[in-house]
Structure formats: structure tokens, C-alpha cells
Amino acid sequence: MSSEARADALEHYMIAQLDKPAGLSAQPPAVRRGAGALFGGPSPSGQRPELTALAAMPEHPTLTDFIRFRGTPGIGNHILQSANDALRKGESEETVLACLLHDYVLNLMKPDHGWWGAQMMEPYVSEKVSWAIRHHQALRFYPDSSVGYEYPELYVRIFGKDYVPAPYIKASYEYARKHKWYMDARMITVHDLYAFEPGMKVAIDPFVDIIGRHFKQPKEGLGFDGSPVAHMWRTLIYPDNPL
């Protein structure tokens, strides 16, 4: 497994601890590790939760509908905790929104989730928010003492002190470090660190107005607006379609 895959596995493990599903199977996973969590993608240990029936989606689904009805509890808790930490510490509404959205795509796809997540949200948020989501993936590997972000100790223990990110991750970091929106992406990583509190439940209600002001909800509903990423949302609406 590559270093990036191991790093992703660590984050997914931490997310899984927020709300472990009951009845985990001890059998080897039947799907690839990169499969989205909503599709039964295995935990880093290789265990795969039993899939349960999903609630029906509204005719014109909104972002809040997706967070409520098309996400695993662990990922939902994580992104809500992250957004809550940003809100509590006085971040801008766009930063709060970026924290709320930054890992939602893990329900669909895990590898390169920063790029996938940015693409999924791009038609509906400001360019700055999608840019921040894209580059948080690389920034998490690099400390920034100016905002108190240190390289996670768990990364040191698991990957060793001499771990070096892949060239494309390093290139993304170096590009982002010089960009005017660097700090917007950096703050996602900062609030990410405080979003793995087991047993902590955060409601979506405090973020509904922020979503209304900064997320361009299509009147047709996400997945049905003809955007270049509508298929990504439809995939989550209909995760059991065979084709």
C-alpha cells in the first residue's frame, strides 16, 4: 500500500471510530478499499459493515437531505464536528461550509478524496470553497506552526519520521502554499484535527442558514440539474442500481 493510501486509511479509521456500526463482518472485504463508505467500502482493518436499507430521497433533494440520508454515521459525525469547531472558533461562513463539505465525498469514493470532493461541490459553491476542499488533501501532510497545525503524531508512529509524500501530493502542497487561498484550505486541516470525538453528536441545524447563503441549491434537486457532476449525486441516490 502506498504512503498516501496508508494515510487515507488512518483518517478513515479515525472517522470509523466516531460511530462504529454493529455487526462488523470478520470476513475479507469483497470490495476494494477505495470503495465509498455508502457502498460498504471496508474499514482500514478490512472489516465491512452490513449494509442496511436507505431512506427514500425527496423528489428534489437538497444538500441537507444528502447529509441526513446518504451518508454513513461516522462520516456524517466527522464533517459536522469539523464544521462545528470552525463555527465555534469564529471562522468565516465559507470556511465553515468548506469544513462541512470537505469529506462528504468519502461516501462515494475514497482515493484522492480532495480532488473528487472539490469536483462534486464545484458547481454549487464559490471557487474559493472548492479550491480549499481540493487542496486540504495535500496540506494535511505538512505542518504550519502559524496556525498551530502540527504533523499528526499518529502519522509519525505509523509511517515513520522519514515519510515523504508522493510527488503529486508535494506539488499540490507547494502550489497551494503560494496561493492567495492557502489559509482557506489550511483551516480545513486545522478543524479536521478536532473532529474525531467519539460519542459527540452534532446536529445539522446550525448550518442550514449557512448552506442557504453559500450553497447554490438547484431547484431541480441535486442529481437532476444537468450539471457535469449530477451523476455523482445520482450515484448516491441510487447506490443499488446494477448499471
Q: Using the predicted structure, report yes or no on whether residue 22 has a pLDDT greater than 50.
A: no
* Segment among 41-50, 123-132, 228-237 with least mean pLDDT: 41-50
* Predicted TM-score (pTM) of this structure: 0.86
| Domain ranges across the chain | 63-237
Residue 197, pLDDT > 90, answer no
Instruction: Give per-residue pLDDT as tens, 164-196.
Output: 899 999 999 999 999 999 999 999 999 988 766
| Predicted confidence band of residue 23 (pLDDT cuts 50, 70, 90) | very low
Q: Which amino acid, residue 216?
A: K
Contact 67, 104 (CB under 8 A): yes
Residues 163 and 151: beta-carbon distance below 8 Å: no
**Neighbouring-strand partners of residue 109:** 35
**In this structure, what DSSP letter does residue 105 have?**
G
Angle between helices 113-121 and 127-139 (to 10 degrees): 170
| 63-237 classified as CATH 1.10.3210 | yes
